[in-house]
Each structure stands twice: as structure tokens, then as C-alpha cells.
Structure 1
């Protein structure tokens, strides 16, 4: 929003920048972008401004290049996808500022004698050319590793419970949470935001009872849109007793004011994503698994194991909410035994002669 001409600003540069960001937020809200997307973009633009130590009408293309070099340096350089997201936020903000329909350039010329420019261009920003940019060491867990993780979690629960130690409820909650992440191929946020009523019956699979379908309401959004929804069908026979035991025997002990929350904290809130990461890292390290593995690897494991078990790839794609089969394929890391069985079957079918029935070939 532009200030009236008869109002003087005490800190004109700082206040102008705040007004620009507020106007940009309003523009994005008008496009129905998610508030989380808007807030993330604003924080990224502010981070760029802090690096430049200057105002948007003073930024130049060289600032983007120096900033990117800093993001790539240090002991923990950012990933290409993260850097591209940062650059995209700055580019979108600059595009908003130089749009004549909003009047920011004229206002800056009047107050500061210069105006914003587009500082991001095709020669100083990252281009998305690869479908998959994850670290090569990040992989699906093997079936044995998944089972070891679950057994290890259960051992922690049993020890804390039998020794009457404080915290066994949260340990039970976390152990069940990881089983649900794997059992339904969920992302962290999808799992953390689940409510009890998100589980419903599947009339075609009554053996799963009220846990035949997991209705995901907080799926990954696309281009800042609202979260995507999908229904994930239960496929593992162990899922029902695991969730039932937690819901009926453990969840009521939290004494929730809102009984719908599936993964509560002891302070009546929802479990944090950072806690999921930390708990997984603790149990992963105690099992001496690869340190690059993280909770999302359980989702990769779900895809891989369903494919190995013979589920149709289209079914698996719909279960995990991928728009394209190529994305699901990138998640898949089938074992050597599975590939060798497929190869052996193909070779046998191709080169094994059919039985001779005595008829002459034409």
C-alpha cells in the first residue's frame, strides 16, 4: 500500500520495504496462495535483503550471484532445490515491484531518485533440469531395516513402561507414528496433521475395520495452492491392530481437550516436524544406520516394497499422491533379488522352448 503524499516517514527506506512486502503478500493472497507459502517467500526475500544490506531499489544482479555463492559455501551448503526456491522468491518479488500497475517504481524515484530492477535473470539463477536432486546416499530402507527400526522403538516403549518411567506415552506415540508413516507412505506433515476421524472404513476391505482408508488432508501443495487431498487405502494386515492399540489404550491417557488429535504432545498441542526428525535420528543412530537417512525414507520404502510385492505401479502412484509415474519411479529402489527374479522370469519366458506337441511348424 502506498503512503499518501502528505505523510512523511521517519525511516523511509525501512518503511517502504515493509510496505512493499505487505503489498506483495496481498497480491499473493488474492491469487489464493497458501499463507505458509507467502510467509516463506517473505522470509527468503528478507534474508536476501539482510545479505545485501541495502534496499530493493539498490539491488543489482551481482548481489544475487554473491548471495548464491554464500549459500553454496560453508560446512552445510544448501541443496540446489533450496537455492532455486530462494532465487525464485527474489525474482517474483522484483517482478512485482517493477510492474507499473502497482506504482512502486514511481514512488521510489520520487523518494530515493532510483527504482527497483529485476536482478534475477537466466544467467545468474539455477534452472530445474533434473527430475531428482536428492543425495545419492538417501535410499529406501530394506525390509530388515524397517523391521529393526520398529522393533527398536517397541523395545524403548516396553522398557520405559515396565520400569514405570515418565515418557512412555510419547515413546509409544512416536513408535506408532513411524509405523503409520511407513504403512501408508506418508510425508511427515501429512502424518503429523492426521486426526482420528481421518481414518474411515473401506467397504471393499472390511477386514481393516474403521482403519481401511487414511484420508490425507494435508498433502503437498502445488505452486502455492491449498494442500492436496487423497485417500490412501490400507494394504498391510498389521496396520489395524497397531493403530487400534494406540487409539484405544494410549491416546486416551493424554487427556486431550480435543480428542480428535491423533499425535498430541503432553502440552495438548500437535507433534512438531522437528521432533519427528529428532526421534528418527536418535533411533537411526542407535541402530548404526546410515546418518543420511531421514523419516521421508520410510515413504520411499513403502513405494519400493509395494512394487516388489507386485502391486500395480499406477495403484502405488495414486496411493502416494504423485501426479506422474516418473516421480514414483524415482522413489523406487527395488532390491537386487527382486530385479534378478524379474530378469530370470523374462529370460525364461523368452528363451525356453514351448513343449513339442507333435504338430509341424508352418
Structure 2
């Protein structure tokens, strides 16, 4: 085995075998083109279990992993179900690798330690997947009033900074335009971060929007080692207010940053692309100024976009294509329509059945 050459005597054979195991698993994952951050997080979790159990993988039994998850649940910051499921999936994948005879680890461990690794997860100690959505209940779409309050607060920060004679008004203008763009096109944080000027598109079917008829997303969420997915998000009539916002940003505000030939849509005072963490900070600042619940996060704007498109009566496939979901069930998870919308749908259905009784229904 190339990772564990024969004839080499190690001062700590068990530690050497474990290091070789992990390096081999890293190589296997890199061959699938998984992201470096994903691989690093998975390896860190395996090391956590080794440290917690004070045992190596060929010594693990179901009891060790069960005690590990019981510990994670009982700490000051207990993990949630979705996190636990991800951890279990990661550790199961690692055990599948080290128990696979094609990688020789069962033979190596048995020869050196008299024990071979075995799968430690089974139906009785893994989380049953019974619902589509396992995220936090507080992650929800913003109402129309909350979206407006958020944008009003972002705009008001500009005037507040100027009135105090402090620097940062340009950055506040940028942040306000950025948050509005994220909502108006239903973007993820990385998608907004990766936008370049060249990603603005004309839409021949909507010439009134000019160069802002669509945005071309090049940094969509990837899956299973694939490169970032791409899609074109059309500007919809209900969000046409974004056109003057972008015109102002690109025509007046962005040039004041003196970005030169930098291609990024969102730039900093140092003429670099805006950092992703700064996008979160922009949302949090506006959220706090608007007095919105602290549990709402940037991604809730994307949930809001999906919900509001549904309430605007766009077909499910159109909504799915706009946000880049592969399955309609994923889009459904994002949707949290209001009671008012559901009542409108109900009234339309009743009107079809009995027009005389419901003739005043919309």
C-alpha cells in the first residue's frame, strides 16, 4: 500500500495507520472533485470521534458512536437534527471506505492489530428521515412589510452616516443595493458575491428593462463534486423596481469607488470584490436597524423571493427554474405563503364551482 509502505517501522504504528487511512480517504474524495472545505470538515469530524472515544477506527463499535452523539446532544450548544444527520452520513461514508476490501484496510488492520474495522451505523442508531424539511423553524420568509422595513432601514443608514459626517456612506449605498438585488433575483450569498458586470443580460421579451432584463448566475450551488451550476434569472414585472436601483448603483455609486477595470459587480473601497462575510454583515445591520427578529438571516430573502413568486401566481416550474432547484419538492420547502394568498386561491376555486354565490371573488 503506497500510503503505508512495507518494511517501515513506526514508533507509533496505530497512529501511522490512522494517518494513512485519513490521507487515503482524502485522496478518494479529491478524485470525486469534492470541495477542499468539504473534505476538511469531514476529516475534522473523524478526528473528533477519535479524540472523543480515545480509540482508532478499527476499534470502534456502535457504542462509541452512540456515546459521541449523545455527548453532542447534551452539551451547552446541542446539535440539531439536520446537523446530526450530516455527521452520521459523513462517518458512515468514512467507515464504508475503511471497510472496503478494495482499499486493503481490513487486511492491514487485522494483520497489525488483530482487529478489522466494521460499519458502526445501522438502522437502530441513525436518524430516520421522516420529513422533507429538518431546518430551524425560525427560518422563514419575510412578509412584504418586513422586506420593506429592511430596505427602508438599509436606505436610512446612508443618511445617518452622512449626518454624522462619518465615512461609509458609499458602502451603505452599496449594501442597500446589494440586499435589494439578492431579494429581487432570489440569490444565494455566493451567487450574489460572484456576480460580474458581464453577468447582466438583456431580455428581448422585456426590452423596457434594458441591460437589467436578467442576471446570469455562474456560482450556483454545486452538488456531488460538480462545478458550480449556472442559470439565468429573469427580471419579473413585480420586481421592476430593481432596474432603477441597479442603474443608480452602476451609473453613480460604483464609479465613486474607482474600481478601474475590476469585473465584480460589488466592490470595496480598496477596489476588490466584496467579501462574502460582508454580505452577511450588511443584512444583519439592516435587520437590527429595522427591528426585525434576530433569527432571520440573509438566506431568508431567498425564501421570501420563492414565496412571493408563488403568491404572484407564477407556475411552479418557472419558480424552480428561477431559483435553480432541481426538484419542485425543494422549492416547496422554501415556500411559506400567507393566509391571504391561500384565501384568494380558495375563493377562486369556489367561484368556479358556484359563480353566482362567489361572483365578487377575485
TM-score, length-normalised on structure 1? 0.89
**Residue in 1 that maps onto 2:360:** none
Matched, 1:306 2:309: yes
**Residue in 2 that maps onto 1:334:** 337
Check whether the contact 1:34–1:224 (CA below 8 A) recurs between aligned residues.
yes
C-alpha distance in 1, partners of 2:232/2:310?
Answer: 19
In structure 2, relative to structure 1, the CA distance for the partners of 1:123 and 1:151 (3 Å cut) is same
Note the residue ranges of structure 1 that are not aligned, 5 or more in a row.
355-362
Give, in angstroms, the shift of residue 183 of structure 1: 0.6
Give, in angstroms, the shift of residue 171 of structure 1: 2.1
Check whether the contact 1:183–1:239 (CA below 8 A) recurs between aligned residues.
yes
What are the within-5 Å matches in structure 2 for residues 212-227 of structure 1? 212-227=213-228
**Residue in 2 that maps onto 1:178:** 179
**Residue in 2 that maps onto 1:359:** none
Note the residue ranges of structure 2 that are not aligned, 5 or more in a row.
358-362
In structure 2, relative to structure 1, the CA distance for the partners of 1:267 and 1:13 (3 Å cut) is farther
In structure 2, relative to structure 1, the CA distance for the partners of 1:307 and 1:272 (3 Å cut) is same
Give, in angstroms, the shift of residue 270 of structure 1: 4.1
Give, in angstroms, the shift of residue 255 of structure 1: 4.2
**Residue in 2 that maps onto 1:349:** 352
Worse-matched range after superposition: 7-16 or 181-190: 7-16
Worse-matched range after superposition: 105-114 or 121-130: 105-114
C-alpha distance in 2, partners of 1:203/1:76?
Answer: 52
Instruction: Kindly tell me the number of residue pairs found equivalent between the two proteins.
Output: 354
Structure 1 residues 268-312: Cα deviation after superposition (integer angstroms, max 9, x where no partner):
554444433343233323322222211111111111112222222
Check whether the contact 1:202–1:213 (CA below 8 A) recurs between aligned residues.
yes
1:264 aligned to 262, 267, 272, which one? 267
What SS is found at the alignment partner of 1:330?
helix
**Residue in 1 that maps onto 2:60:** 59
**Residue in 2 that maps onto 1:4:** 5
C-alpha distance in 2, partners of 1:293/1:107?
Answer: 50
Check whether the contact 1:264–1:271 (CA below 8 A) recurs between aligned residues.
yes
Give, in angstroms, the shift of residue 82 of structure 1: 1.4
CA RMSD of aligned residues (A): 2.3
**Residue in 2 that maps onto 1:105:** 106
Check whether the contact 1:173–1:263 (CA below 8 A) recurs between aligned residues.
yes
What are the within-5 Å matches in structure 2 for residues 180-329 of structure 1? 180-235=181-236, 236-256=239-259, 259-266=262-269, 269-329=272-332
TM-score, length-normalised on structure 2? 0.89
Matched, 1:20 2:3: no
